[in-house]
């Protein structure tokens, strides 16, 4: 039974070097253990060895019982930069991730990042990572500096993604209204899940999901509040004409086709998502090596689910393998 960790994050050393020595909106310092620390408005990320040392990471996941990781960049990605610099850094990140996958294909695969603050350049980069680098899809952020993913400026990207049956994985970033979340780490604790929920709802109501049916959508952090609030979204469809203008089915019918990673380690929450979308649409995730993540809790929470061994095997790796064409 292969275990594939779908939700985790990596900072390529080439990227870290580029923002240290070149133009960047990040302020870069080091902590007492000589780890880089990236400072951005209302947030900071401690770049521990697991974030930036692929040898270290491979050793960790082997000991932790993980066969493969789908490595991805992390919020806010390159969107914090000017559009021109965002494009440049996205290429650096994607080239570095592709190199890791080529050299260590038994342990790692990846989803690319895009410079979403330049929609036209994002289309160009998407075509490059798919056709030249072999990526199966990309990780999108839940908004692009306040612009919703459902905005028409991104529809050309979705047209290209639809043509190649791409995977589009939505990971949260700074939510609108982040200034109310700067204490107590409320941005990642609450704001992230809120913004994922908002992004998914808008993608459905706007007609993006219906118009581009060949895209496989994945939501981070168990879809935010989607499994809990989906009845309310359906009620919007039946109650308000604006919620019916662009779609022909209840929102829940589209959202049941999404995939949800298990970065919510509460067994009852996992069961709620399973009851909504089915075991075949749940993907194991750890959020390694962020402070809030845990490979151990990923294993433990899935192990406690009252489902069959075959269903657990699907969640632990089979579903991700099928989604990414690894089986």
Which candidate, 193, 245, 188, 246, places its Cα nearest to that of 220? 193
Count H helices and E strands in the chain, helices first: 15, 13
Q: What is the pLDDT of residue 42?
A: 66
Domain ranges of the chain: 4-323
Q: Which among 110, 128, 115, 95 is positioned nearest to 13, based on CA atoms?
A: 95
Quick one: CATH architecture of 4-323? Answer: Alpha-Beta Barrel (3.20)
Give the pLDDT confidence of 32-83 residue by residue, as tens digits.
889 999 988 767 889 999 999 999 999 999 999 999 999 999 999 999 999 9
Interatomic CA distance for residues 88 and 17, integer angstroms: 13
Query: Could you read off the pLDDT of 302-317 as tens digits, one per residue?
Result: 999 999 999 999 999 9
Q: Is 261 helix (H, G, I), strand (E, B) or coil?
A: strand
pLDDT tens-digit series, residues 166-195: 999 999 998 988 888 888 988 889 999 999
pTM of model > 0.75: yes
pLDDT tens for residues 210-268?
999 999 999 999 999 999 999 999 999 999 999 999 999 999 999 999 999 999 999 99
CA angle at 171 for the pair 167 and 175, rounded to the nearest 5°: 140
């Amino acid at each position: 039974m292969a275990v594939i960790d779908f939700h985790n994050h990596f900072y390529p050393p080439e990227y870290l070097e580029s923002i240290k020595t070149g133009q960047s909106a990040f302020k870069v310092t080091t902590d007492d253990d000589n780890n880089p620390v990236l400072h951005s408005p209302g947030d900071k990320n401690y770049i521990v060895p697991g974030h930036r040392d692929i040898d270290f990471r491979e050793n960790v996941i082997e000991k932790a019982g993980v066969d493969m990781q789908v490595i991805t960049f992390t919020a806010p990605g390159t969107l914090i930069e000017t559009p021109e610099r965002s494009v440049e850094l996205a290429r650096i990140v994607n080239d570095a991730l592709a190199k890791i996958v080529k050299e260590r294909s038994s342990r790692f695969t990846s989803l690319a990042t895009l410079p979403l603050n330049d929609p036209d350049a994002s289309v160009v980069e998407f075509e490059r990572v798919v056709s030249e680098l072999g990526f199966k899809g990309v990780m999108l952020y839940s908004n692009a500096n306040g612009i919703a993913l459902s905005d028409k400026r991104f529809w050309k990207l979705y047209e290209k993604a639809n043509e190649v049956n791409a995977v589009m994985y939505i990971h949260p970033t700074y939510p609108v209204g982040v200034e109310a979340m700067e204490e107590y780490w409320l941005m990642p604790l609450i704001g992230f899940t809120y913004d994922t929920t908002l992004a998914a709802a808008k993608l459905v109501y706007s007609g993006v999901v219906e118009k581009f049916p060949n895209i496989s959508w994945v939501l981070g952090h168990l879809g935010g509040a989607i499994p809990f609030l989906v009845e309310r979204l359906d009620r919007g469809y039946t109650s308000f004409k604006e919620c019916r203008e662009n779609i022909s089915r209840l929102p829940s019918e589209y959202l049941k086709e999404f995939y949800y990673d298990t970065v919510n380690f509460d067994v009852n929450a996992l069961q709620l998502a399973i009851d909504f979308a089915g075991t075949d649409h749940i993907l194991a995730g750890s959020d390694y090596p962020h402070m809030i993540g845990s490979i151990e809790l990923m294993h433990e929470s899935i192990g406690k689910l009252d489902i069959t061994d075959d269903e657990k095997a699907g969640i632990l790796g089979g579903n991700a393998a099928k989604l990414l064409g690894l089986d």
